[in-house]
Amino acid sequence: MTMQQEPYDEIERLMRESLAQVEKKFSEQDRNDVAEYIEFGEYGVAYELPTFLLDKEQIAYPEALKVAGKIIRRRH
């Protein structure tokens, strides 16, 4: 694994962990969309969709999602 790849592997792990923690709160379509964005490395969109959905329902973010968001913001 290269140093360049390492943050993306961590983001992906955190995003998958987050999705597993909140997936029952999302529709099947939303779960599939987030999973697909993660799979294709679209981490920004994979972060924005669940945060939008959680905000809409006034549900707290999983800690893993917060950490992933911090890493994503540092990368851009």
Distance CA 38, CA 21 (A): 15
Neighbours of 47 (CB within 10 A): 24
pTM: 0.87
Does residue 1 carry a pLDDT above 80?
no
- Would you list the domain boundaries of the chain? 6-75
Q: Which contiguous run of DSSP H or E holds residue 21?
A: helix 6-22
pLDDT per residue as tens digits for the range 19-76: 999 999 999 999 999 999 999 999 999 999 999 999 999 999 999 999 999 999 987 6
Which tokens in the block code for residue 7?
Answer: 């943050």
Question: Which pLDDT score is estimated for 2?
Answer: 47
